[in-house]
Amino acid sequence: MSDPIDLASPPVASRAKTLKAETRETHERLDHSIMAGRPFESQERYALFLAVQHAFHRDIDALYANPTLDGLLPDLAGRRRFGDVEQDLADLGIAAPQADAPPAFGATADIPTALGWLYVAEGSNMGAAFLIKAAGKIGLSEDFGARHLAGAPEGRGLHWRTFTEALDALELDDAEEARMIDGAHAAFARVQGLVTHVFA
Ligand code: HEM
């Protein structure tokens, strides 16, 4: 006989979709703030966008070497983009911006919170398909200055799907689920704060 259906705790249809719905407004606000800063008007203005990306990816860089997360998510190390941001700065002859504080994450991390931040970082690579086209108009490409906006070799869609499928398959209790959503909000808030500060 098959197990009775547990109506008290239905399976999460898609955690990634929940995160998307939860953060839609904050993503829209961020998207508008970035474009209002005209980051693709010139390489000088693009450098401001790179400063934002540098601070954000520095915040989460340690997560890509976290053994617990590595056991939960596919190709975690291959998803790291801080090195690409650093190379983009070097391409443009720009020194790495001075950090104003220690990174958000160190060697240890609350895993659900980290998952929320990683959702934001991974998702941003979907929007990057649009951004890299705009960057092309000011002489940048996935080989020069806009490496961190490049898609994965297997394609952005597939790369994103393997991430969201792994995220959806994780077992999280209600409290962990809430911390993951808080983590996604915190990541968006961090980037919004950086954009407001850097493009001011
Ligand atoms: C001007 C800047 C941006 C634009 C125009 C933009 C645009 C987009 C677009 C068009 C998508 C949907 C892609 C698709 O489903 O095929 C997307 C997804 C996403 N973007 Fe952005 N984006 C921008 C910046 C960012 C930044 C800076 C972050 C976070 C650091 C971010 C986080 C996300 C996330 C998490 C998703 C995935 C949503 C989901 O399907 O769950 N975006 N973006």
Atom 27, ligand 1: residue with shortest CA distance: 124
d(CA 146, CA 91): 9
Query: How does pLDDT run across 1-31, given as a tens digit for each residue?
Result: 444 544 445 555 799 999 999 999 999 999 9
d(CA 111, CA 96): 28
Residue 157 near ligand 1, beta carbon < 6 Å: no
**Mean pLDDT of the chain, nearest integer:** 94
- Go through the domains of the chain in sequence order and give each one's CATH number: 22-198 (1.20.910.10)
Ligand 1 atom nearest 19 alpha carbon: 41
Atom 33, ligand 1: residue with shortest CA distance: 124
d(CA 86, CA 145): 9
Q: Could you tell me if 153 and 170 are in contact, meaning their C-beta atoms sit under 8 angstroms apart?
A: no
Q: 105 pLDDT band (50/70/90 cuts)?
A: very high
pLDDT at 91 over 50: yes
Q: Could you tell me if 97 and 55 are in contact, meaning their C-beta atoms sit under 8 angstroms apart?
A: yes
Residue 31 near ligand 1, beta carbon < 6 Å: yes
pLDDT at 174 over 60: yes
Q: 154 pLDDT band (50/70/90 cuts)?
A: very high
Query: What is the model's pTM?
Result: 0.93
Tell me if residue 144 falls in helix, strand or coil. Answer: strand
d(CA 42, CA 82): 22
Buried b / exposed e across 40-55, counting CB within 10 Å, b at 16+? beebeebbbbbbbbbb
Ligand 1 center from residue 27 Cα (angstroms): 7
Residue 30 near ligand 1, beta carbon < 6 Å: yes
